[in-house]
Structure 1
Amino acid sequence: MEILIGTSGWIYKHWNGTFYPQEVKEREKLTYFMENFKTVELNASFYRTPALSTFKKWHDEAKEGFVFTIKLSRFISHIKRLVLDDDEIRSVITYILQNVKELGEHLGAILIQLPPSLKSNNERLEKFLDFFTGEIKKLDYNPDIAIEFRHETWFNEDTYGILRKYNIAFVISDSTAWPTAHVFTAEHSYIRFHGPEKLFASLYSDEQMKWWADFILEHKEIKKFYVYFNNDEHGYAIVNSKKLIELTQQAG
């Protein structure tokens, strides 16, 4: 079992002086981050897909074994809502996948985060995933894929069956804002921590982290866990991710 633990993003002004020493320049932050973690979830790609040259730059800077998870553009998940109704969305998907491929061995997973307002539509989901995975195969690379549902109507065996068909991980998300389930639908799993109380701005206790460490380690059938902390306020994500790394390494 491989356990990759990191944070959702690495550039936050409020991490200066708490995680990043003041002397670390902006262009040096990724290098510093990689000295502490083996993975990061790229949130910026949700709003704007980085240029091909940026992905190449990250590939060249990445340390051996470090991987990026890329969050798919909100144009696809929130504006088009997975509907393949015109050439624009298809071309955007192809453009994103071509750019992301430049990460090479440093690409871990692609995350699809759906909006809370999007209710279950398994026919739409399967049609989208069939096209999406087909485009990836055309480009001849094989990233892990995960999808985070934020409406409770998706939490059913029909949805899980579609994910299993395409080996796509159901995201186990932890927050007080959105529903969750501890479900495994692929050889890999994906966990997102949004904060135990206040969204993005609350700290998990050591006891809570111990529970999650045990949960992860119990599921030895899962080949790889991607685990990201999105509670970036006050640097809580750094504290919690480091604690979970410590606990899983001790037990492992």
Structure 2
Amino acid sequence: MPRKDNPHIRIGVGGWTFEPWRGTFYPDGLAQKRELEHASRQLSSIEINGTYYGSQKPESFAKWHEETPEDFVFALKGPRFATNRRVLAEAAPSVEKFLTSGITELKQKLGPINWQFMGTKKFDPVDFEAFLKLLPDSVDGRKLRHAVEVRHDSFKTPDFIDLARAYNVAIITAADGEYPQIADLTAPFAYLRIMGTEEGEKLGYPKKSLDLWAKRAQVLAKGEMPEGLETVSRKPGRKGPGDVFLYVISGHKVANPAAAMALIERVNI
């Protein structure tokens, strides 16, 4: 787990319920109701995907809070009903419903919210700013951190970077996959989703790649831009250290927990 002198880097996977992890990541015979308990003691964060597809009960958020270590953090996927729209300004009811659904029951374990957009959604400055205006800084006294995951090449423009910075919203860096990469730092934290784990690699990635991603996370935590990531704007990003959230997603999913644990080990050396 992360050391107290390096608190800014959180690494994990998407979700914790995945049958092929039973007997590979989860010990044989482990009760399914204890899988989050186990996962949260091997990883430092998990991105909850279920919130993308439907509402969760406040009791569920409270239960997840109780089952995980004190320093564990969850990222949440915002609901698709808010992002999969032709007119984003009309998303207000969906955004509000989600933010008041009990997410603050996670208390200090509430991490960033990933507002994910479909690959068909193109960048329209007016349309997108209308959506960013719907994202509050806090709910029920709990500070919120927002991030957007865009998947269309039209977002690779300085206008989008400027807009994200103006609203203090992070742009999620997609890596090792098919989606456009935008690594510009636009908020006090960085959010990455790496998607390149491969079958045949025990740790999902070759050791050289794991070393590289661990180093990149460490550089980002300092507020600097590591080599090899694609940025759009020539303007400097934020200055100073900030949290880093890195999730091993997609790819050869069976190996994702092993890759995440290998990265945690590297950043804590």
TM-score for both structures, normalised by structure 2: 0.84
Paired AA for residue 188 in structure 2: E
Contact 1:174 1:196 in 2 (8 A): no
**Residue 142 of structure 2: SS of its match in structure 1?**
coil
Deviations 1:192-250 (A, max 9, x none): 0122679xxx9322111111222222231241000001136452111211111111111
**Residue 180 of structure 2: SS of its match in structure 1?**
coil
Q: Which residue of 2 aligns with 1:121?
A: 124
Q: Which residue of 1 aligns with 2:266?
A: 247
Q: Does 1:229 align with 2:248?
A: yes
Q: Which residue of 1 aligns with 2:134?
A: 131
What is the alpha-carbon distance in structure 1 between the residues aligned to residue 169 and residue 66 of structure 2?
Answer: 28
Contact 1:203 1:231 in 2 (8 A): no
Contact 1:14 1:233 in 2 (8 A): no
Q: Which residue of 1 aligns with 2:42?
A: 36
Q: Which residue of 2 aligns with 1:146?
A: 147
What is the alpha-carbon distance in structure 2 between the residues aligned to residue 208 and residue 82 of structure 1?
Answer: 40
- Which of 192, 214, 238 is 2:257 aligned to? 238
Displacement of 1:22 after TM fit?
A: 1.8
TM-score for both structures, normalised by structure 1: 0.89
Contact 1:175 1:197 in 2 (8 A): no
**Residue 138 of structure 2: SS of its match in structure 1?**
helix
Q: Structure 1 stretch 101-110 or stretch 137-146: which is displaced more?
A: 137-146
Displacement of 1:165 after TM fit?
A: 1.4
Contact 1:6 1:241 in 2 (8 A): yes
Paired AA for residue 84 in structure 1: A
Paired AA for residue 99 in structure 2: L
What is the alpha-carbon distance in structure 2 between the residues aligned to residue 76 and residue 128 of structure 1?
Answer: 9
**Residue 120 of structure 1: SS of its match in structure 2?**
coil
Q: Identity over aligned residues, as a percent?
A: 26
1:20-59 correspondence to structure 2 within 5 Å: 20-59=26-65
RMSD: 1.9
Displacement of 1:63 after TM fit?
A: 1.5
Q: Which residue of 2 aligns with 1:112?
A: 115
**Residue 244 of structure 1: SS of its match in structure 2?**
helix
Distance 1:59 1:196, change over 3 A: closer
> After the TM superposition, which parts of structure 1 deviate over 4 Å for at least 4 consecutive aligned residues?
none
1:165-184 correspondence to structure 2 within 5 Å: 165-184=166-185
**Residue 174 of structure 2: SS of its match in structure 1?**
strand
Q: Which residue of 2 aligns with 1:161?
A: 162
**Residue 132 of structure 1: SS of its match in structure 2?**
coil
What is the alpha-carbon distance in structure 2 between the residues aligned to residue 20 and residue 39 of structure 1?
Answer: 16
